[in-house]
Structures are given as C-alpha cells and as structure tokens.
Structure 1
Amino acid sequence: MNSTRPFSVLTAALLAPIALVAQAPQARAQTLADALAQAYANNPTLLAARAQLRAVDENVPQALAGWRPTVSITNSFGYLDGRIRTLSQGVDPTDPQRQVGVTNRNDRTIATNTVVVTQPIFRGGRTVASTRRAENQVLAQRARLLATEQQVMQDTVTAYVAVIRDQELLRLNINNEQVLTEQLRATNERFRVGEITRTDVAQAESRLAGARSQRARAEGDLQISRATFLRLVGLPPGQLLAPQPLRVPFRNAQEAALAAAANNPNVVAALFDEAGARDNVNIQSSALLPQLSVSTQAGRNDNQVLNHSRQTFAQVTANLTVPLYQGGAEYSAVRQARQSAQQARQTVDDQRRAVVQQATQAWEQLQSSKAQVDSVRAQIRAAEIALDGVQREAIVGSRTTLDVLNAEQELLNARTSLVQALSTVVSQSYALAATIGRLTAGDLGLAVDPYDMRAYYNEVRNRWAGLGDYSGVAERR
C-alpha cells in the first residue's frame, strides 16, 4: 500500500510557530500573506465598510454647522393688475355737486429682493452635544471597520486553509481509491485460484465503490472551497503554500479573555455607542432650553404700493425664544433617550461577555487541536504498523480480506483526522488573534498601502461647502 504524509508542510509548521507576522512570499507560489493583502485591497465587504465610515465622518461637519450662520436670498418678480376707485366731485357737468366714482388703473411690475443672515448664539447646548455625539459615532464606526477588517482577514485565512485541507483530503481519497483498486485486482486473482470466496471479492468491490463516492465528494468540497476563496480574495487560488499558525502572547484562556474584553473592536464600538447615547440625552434636553440668535436682514421692494416707487430697508434683530410648553413631546424624547442610554450600557456588557466566550472557545479549540495532532500522529504510526501486519497475515491465510480493508480504512480515517486537526490549529490561532483585536493588516505585517481612517475625516471636518468626492485622500499614504 502506498504511504503518504498528509499536510506535510503544516505538520512541520506546527513545530515552529511564529508571532503575529505573515509568511514571506516564495517564488511561483501564493502565500497566505499574498491572499490577505489581495483581500485587504479588493474585498467588497471591506471596501463597503470603509465607505460607511466616510459617511459617518460627515456627521461631524453636520453637527458643527450649528455654530455657523445661515444665509438666504429671497427674490420675487411679478406683474400687478391694480385698480384704484375714488369718489370725485364735479365730474358730472350736469350736476357739479354730485360725487361720482372714478376708477384709475395702477398696473405695475413689482419686485422684492431680501437677504437674511442668521447667526445662532445659543441653541440650548444642542450644537455642543451633537458634536460630541458625532465624534463618538465616528470612533465607534472606526472600531467597526477594524472588526470588519478582522472578519475579512479571518474568513480569508479560513478559506485559504480550507483549500489546502480539501486538496489534501482529495489526494488522500484518490490514493485510497488507487489502493482499493489494486486490492480488488489482487482479490480477484486470489479468487480465481480458489484461495478466497466470492464474499471477499464483494467486500473489496463495496469498499472501492465507497472510495469512489468519497473521492467525488472530496472533489466537490474542493471546488466549493475554491469558490469561497475567489469570493473573498478576488483571485482563484493557485499553488498555495501551507501557512504557519500564529503564536499569541498568552499562557492561558483567562489572559486571552481579559485581553479580548479590553481590546476587541466590538467592545470598543459598544463603548463609544454608549457615550453617544448619553450625548443624545443632552441633545433632546436642549429643546427645553432658551434659544438665542441674531438676524440681519436687508432688502428692496420695487413698486409695491405705487408705480415707480422703491422701498429699501436694513435691520438687525436679536431673537430669544423661551419654550414654556410644547405639548409634552420634548419631555418624552428626553425620557426615551435615557432609556436608549441604558440599553447601550447593557450592550457593552453583552459584547464583553460575548468576546470573552469567543476568546475562551478559540483558546480551548486551539489547545485541543494541538493535542489531537499529537494523538493522531501516534494513531497513524500504529495504524501503519497494524496494516502492514494484517497484510502479511492475510497472505498466509490467517487474516481475511475484510480485516485488510478495515485496517486500510482505519489508516485513512487517521490521516483524514490529522489533516482536519492541522487546519483547525491554523484557523483557530488566527481566530484567537481576532478576538483580542490583533488580526489587522498592521498586526500581520502585510505589504499593503494602509487605509487611513482619519484622512477623510480631517479633509471634511471643517469644510463649510463643497460637493466633491474626497474619498481618495484616505487611499494616499
């Protein structure tokens, strides 16, 4: 029987794990670092998350607009068909004392031009609270972008490892089919000379049919993994080099859980969401406070009363509005905002518990997979020895064909388990890094142009006007 070593590169890699850095590229082969860099630059989910952050950045200039004046120009132009009717005496020559109504036409073109400048002075604290809330929304969205980036990195690692795993599983199943084909040929030869019965031939045929089914399934699984890789990375997988697992700086699950509770992007986003929810209470409360503004108005009215007349004016007014009672909706909005702030506080606790659970699960799965690798290696060594013994004993007639088939199947199962355990070790090491917020392009040392989350924010924060698309500034280093 042919003996092969499954997932050999990953087996060697487990003996020399590295820190949170990606593997160096090799000639004519695609490394995990190459796939991660390609996903970082082209993954649609990540690109959409960056666009969403830029949209949230615009909340800040919208809030700051509360400090700025508003300027409006009102122009109107029209035609007035007017009539003026008066009582006049002496119009009737037959009776000079009689008063007669006289109508005079007053048709004219009218025009109005007005410029109004309003400068807010005090809005009940709404502008200050809105700006703080917008800043917290931006920081929360930045954390969510990091979470999305980590998720894309983790999914890419999983897809990359899945392609290698399914390639190895397909190779094992092809090898098993070849071995069982040879086994069936040898069984038929022994049946012809009368050494075994037809039952032995049927058992060999059954196992071969099952092996063909498993090989077809493995081919389908590989194509599915390749399609997932293409969706995440944007390129089909080529010759993939088996990656090394990451080594995280923790000695136990408790340390990993504490780091996740403090650094996980989802927890950070929830904290800023809570701060924004508290700011919203102040925003809603501002509707109950006085509002002060200054308005300047200048204008010109042409032919408003009489033809060929013009009226010009200019005025400055201070406007103070003190709300007394407005139906009660404002009080309800304040109460509602307070309840939303309580909800945000509970969400923070929920996120912390969730990431602690995720970190603990990733740690335990990583440790159990490493232990499984050692156990399965010992199982493979014992299964290889057992298979060799059963094959020799079958030649002299002390073992049946079924015993040989069972020994071959046990060895195949052990090798399959080793491939799956090795892939789990790699995937869970990256999953553990993601739970503690250390699976970004910077942490992995990818050779990419980093996306600057602050560039667009700095570009638009103090802009008073402009319709341009400034998203390109975030891509420039």
Structure 2
Amino acid sequence: MRASRFLLAAALAGLLGPLSAPAWSLDLMQAYQAALAQDARIRAARAARDSAIERLPQARAQMMPNIAINLGRNKNDIDRTQENALGQDVKFNEEYFSYNQTLQLRQPLFRMPLFAGLRQAGFVVDDAEATLERELQDLGARVTGAYMEALLAQDALDLVLKQKAVTTTQLDAARKSLEAGFGTRTDIDEAQARLDMNIADELSARQHVEFTRRQLEILINQPVDTLLAVDARRLPLLPPEPAEVAEWIRLAEDGSPEVRALKARVEAARAEIAKARGGHYPTVDAVAQISKSGSENVTSPRSSYTNHLIGLQVNIPLFAGGYVNSTVRQAIAEQVRAEENLEAARRDLAVRVHREHRGVTEGVLRVRALEQAVRSAQQLVTSSKRSFEAGSRTMVDVLNAEQQLQTTLRDLAEARYLYLVSRVRLRALVGMDRERSIREVNGWLSQG
C-alpha cells in the first residue's frame, strides 16, 4: 500500500514538476537574437541581398568567352528534272542524309551596355547590402519598442492592481467607520465608485498586456512568459554623445544605411543611362569557329567540308525605330526619381534624428522631474492619511492622493521606457553598432 502511494506521489510530482518550475525570463538581448533568426522581414531582406549578389557574376559572365556547339542532321528528299540529249525532261529522285557540326568561340571585345551593366550590378549589390543593414537596425528598434511597451503594459496593470487593493482597503475602512457611527455614506460611495473604475481599468490593462505580449511574440516567433524589467537603480540618465543635434544629423548623412541604399540606387540609375546609350555604339566580337559539314551540296551530295574561321565581327547600329532614344529618356527619368527619393529621405532623416535626439535629451529631464514628482506624491499620500486620521481630511482626499501617486508612477515608467527606446532609435538612424546598443540597454535590466 505504501509502495503504491509512493509511486502515485512520484508520478504526480513528475507531472506537476514542470508546472511548478520557476518561469523562464526573457531579456532584451535574447528577444533580439530570436527576432534575428525568426523575423520574416529580415529573412526577406537576406534573400533579396543574396539575389542581388548574383547580379555580379551574371554581369561578368556576359563579358567572358561564349563557347557553343551546334549539331544538325537532316534527311534530304530531292526531286530533280533535267533534259536529256533528246530534249526530253527526265525526273530523278535522290534521298540522302546531310549533317553539320560547328564549334564556335565568341569573345566580346567592345560592348558598352555590358561595361555599364557590370558597374550597375555593383551598385545593386551595395543597395541590397545597405537595405539589409537598415532592416537589421530597424529590427533592433522594433524589438526594443515592443519589449518596452510590454513592460509598460505590465507596469500599468501592476499599478492598477495596487490602486484596486488600496481602494478596497479604503472601502472596508469607510464601511467600518459608518458602522461605528462616525463615518459618512459619501465616503463609501466615493470609495465604491473608485473601486468600480479600478475594476474597469484592470480589464483594459489585462487586455493591453496580452496585446503587447502578442506583438513581441510575433517578432520573436516564440511564446513570452516573463520579461526582465528595467532596474531603475542601474539605469543611468545619459544625454546623447555628441550633444549637438547637428552632429548627429551629419553622422546620419554619413552612416545611415537608408541613405547608403538610396545613394547606391542613384548610381545604379546613372549606370542605366550609360547602358541605354550604349545602344548607339558599335559592338566588336572576336570569333573563332570550326565547322564540318557533309552532303550539304545538292550538286555533290556525297561531299564533305571542314572550315576553320577566325576573325572579328563588327555590328554598327543604324536605326532601331527610336527604341534606344526612348530607353535613354526612361533611364534619365528614373535617375531623377532616385535623386528626389534620396533628397526626400535626407530631409525626413534629419527630422527623425531631431525627434529621437529630443527624446533622449528631454527624456533625461522628464525622468528626473517625475522621480521628484513621485517623492512628492508619496509624501502627499502620507500627509493625507495622517490628516484623515486627525479629522482634517476626508476619504476623498486620501483616494485622490493615492490616485495621483499611481498616475505619477505610471508616467515615470513610461518616461523611462521612452528614453531607452529613443536611445536605440537614435543610434539606429545613424547606423551605429546595433548589438552594442541592445547590449547596453540589456545591462540595465534586472538580473532576475
């Protein structure tokens, strides 16, 4: 009997053990590394980069010798009519097989479109590489933003639960005071109204927690259990370095992967113009050929020939119906479009750099101001409770002080998260080391 109970207890322990094990905590660096491997946009950008890289060997291949073999075998059935010595038409029928074999080597010597295409392929690869880097930088900002938004949602829920607990305590105290004969019905109604609002806020906060967790799960393609929170004691409030926004804009002009990609597109468009204009230029190829044929001469059907050929072939375009001129105009228009897109991106980049720079600089000031506001709100709660106990304050005053404290705590948490996200976004815009930025923020999280 004891043995069977022991086995049953062991089996239950084995089943419930994983459920009672401590939850696995996900930090920012782990989330970023998971997103690197799982994010669909990154995989698509990598595939686009790999596809663009193949443009270079394709362009080089068109300038290399081209070797081809042509083989043919044909059955010939010939009806021939010929006058004989008497002037009469005599019909003959001949059937025989003919064949031809050709080995040709063609080496392009001068083809302007091929030279321009080779330069263009290099710029296409540069564009794809820069686009992939831009997506990687953007991924770091997206993961950080989703991570911090999930933390903010959890903090908001925790604050609502704390406020709900405080309000419940105040409601119980108000009811007991009324039963004791020195409370008021208004205090109960006020506390009950606040509690009802807290319950509604809790439902909304729980939904937001689920939504933000889902956003992060989509990025990393794995379930999220618990997230390591930001440790306020380890969080340094550092202004951007360098301090001047103009310097950050200059860094963005030089290092932004988005700008690099658009510059490469401009150069590729210019190469396309040269490629199109190459249609006006002659082409020169060196040709070496060996051909062997048999029974291809009607008059001598049983003869065979072997021909060795080497020389140059020059093709001079004279008129193509205006096709070349049209492609040149089209390529020029594409260049203008690429240049305008580059200019628009530069202007937009300056605005975004300025916004994130302000997010860091003003974030430092806002966090410090809200830290002081939290200390003041805590003091107000303490004073309001003492005054209520002394009879100079009402229950409403205490509830208002508690609500003000929770609101200030929520604003402080939001300010910290926005400050961290702005730091990562600012560095991503100028093309700084993305892993270093993530690792830096990750070092400011609690260690579990």
The two structures have a TM-score, normalised by structure 2, of 0.84
CA distance in 2, matches of 1:387, 1:443: 39
CA distance in 2, matches of 1:116, 1:312: 13
CA distance in 1, matches of 2:338, 2:429: 21
CA distance in 2, matches of 1:148, 1:159: 16
1:374 has 2:368 as partner: yes
CA offset digits 1:398-457 (Å, max 9, x no partner): 3333222222211111111011111111111111111111143366569xxxxxxxxxxx
Q: Which residue of 2 aligns with 1:452?
A: none
Moved more, 328-337 or 298-307: 298-307
Shift of 1:50: 1.5
SS of residue paired to 1:106: strand
Equivalent residue for 2:351, pick from 352, 357, 364: 357
SS of residue paired to 1:294: strand
Aligned AA for 2:120?
A: R
1:52 has 2:48 as partner: yes
1:284 has 2:276 as partner: yes
Q: Which residue of 1 aligns with 2:12?
A: none
Q: Which residue of 2 aligns with 1:293?
A: 285
Aligned AA for 1:282?
A: A
Shift of 1:43: 2.8
Equivalent residue for 1:34, pick from 6, 17, 30: 30
Equivalent residue for 1:119, pick from 96, 107, 112: 107
SS of residue paired to 1:235: coil
SS of residue paired to 2:26: coil
Q: Which residue of 2 aligns with 1:163?
A: 150
1:266 has 2:258 as partner: yes
CA distance in 2, matches of 1:200, 1:248: 49
1:103 has 2:74 as partner: no
Moved more, 335-344 or 158-167: 335-344
Alpha carbons of structure 1 residues 325 and 256: separation in structure 2 relative to 1, 3 Å: same
Aligned AA for 1:264?
A: S
Q: Which residue of 2 aligns with 1:220?
A: 207
Aligned AA for 2:102?
A: T
CA distance in 1, matches of 2:132, 2:28: 22
Name the Cα RMSD after superposition.
2.5
1:87 has 2:83 as partner: yes
Shift of 1:150: 0.3
CA distance in 2, matches of 1:131, 1:146: 23
Q: Which residue of 1 aligns with 2:163?
A: 176
CA offset digits 1:243-284 (Å, max 9, x no partner): 557774211222222211221111122222222222222111
CA distance in 1, matches of 2:253, 2:79: 81
SS of residue paired to 2:321: coil
Aligned AA for 1:258?
A: R
8 Å CA contact retained: 2:294, 2:303: yes
8 Å CA contact retained: 2:103, 2:290: yes
CA distance in 1, matches of 2:303, 2:160: 99
CA distance in 2, matches of 1:364, 1:300: 79
Aligned length: 411
Equivalent residue for 1:63, pick from 59, 65, 87: 59
CA distance in 2, matches of 1:41, 1:345: 34
CA distance in 2, matches of 1:131, 1:392: 81
CA offset digits 1:213-271 (Å, max 9, x no partner): 11122112112222222222233334433455777421122222221122111112222
8 Å CA contact retained: 2:140, 2:438: no
Moved more, 380-389 or 241-250: 241-250
Aligned AA for 1:320?
A: V
SS of residue paired to 2:192: helix
8 Å CA contact retained: 1:146, 1:440: no
CA distance in 2, matches of 1:331, 1:303: 47
CA offset digits 1:43-99 (Å, max 9, x no partner): 33222212211111111112212311222222333433332233335xxxxxxx5x5
Q: Give 5+ residue unaligned stretches, structure 2.
A: 1-22, 441-448
Q: Which residue of 2 aligns with 1:251?
A: 243
Moved more, 201-210 or 147-156: 201-210
Shift of 1:197: 3.8
Q: Which residue of 2 aligns with 1:11?
A: none
Shift of 1:31: 2.9
CA distance in 2, matches of 1:180, 1:300: 102
Moved more, 150-159 or 248-257: 248-257
Alpha carbons of structure 1 residues 73 and 247: separation in structure 2 relative to 1, 3 Å: farther
CA distance in 2, matches of 1:59, 1:253: 39
CA distance in 1, matches of 2:185, 2:77: 115
1:302-451 maps to which residues of 2 (within 5 A)? 302-304=294-296, 305=298, 308-441=302-435
CA distance in 2, matches of 1:195, 1:444: 58
Q: Which residue of 1 aligns with 2:219?
A: 232
Alpha carbons of structure 1 residues 155 and 381: separation in structure 2 relative to 1, 3 Å: same
Alpha carbons of structure 1 residues 129 and 442: separation in structure 2 relative to 1, 3 Å: farther
Aligned AA for 2:159?
A: L
Q: Which residue of 2 aligns with 1:135?
A: 122
Aligned AA for 2:247?
A: E
8 Å CA contact retained: 2:283, 2:316: yes
Aligned AA for 1:117?
A: L
Shift of 1:285: 1.1
CA distance in 2, matches of 1:387, 1:442: 41
Aligned AA for 2:200?
A: S
| Percentage of identical aligned residues | 25
CA offset digits 1:144-194 (Å, max 9, x no partner): 111111001111111222222222222111111111122222222223334
Shift of 1:390: 2.3
The two structures have a TM-score, normalised by structure 1, of 0.79
Aligned AA for 1:382?
A: S
SS of residue paired to 2:203: helix
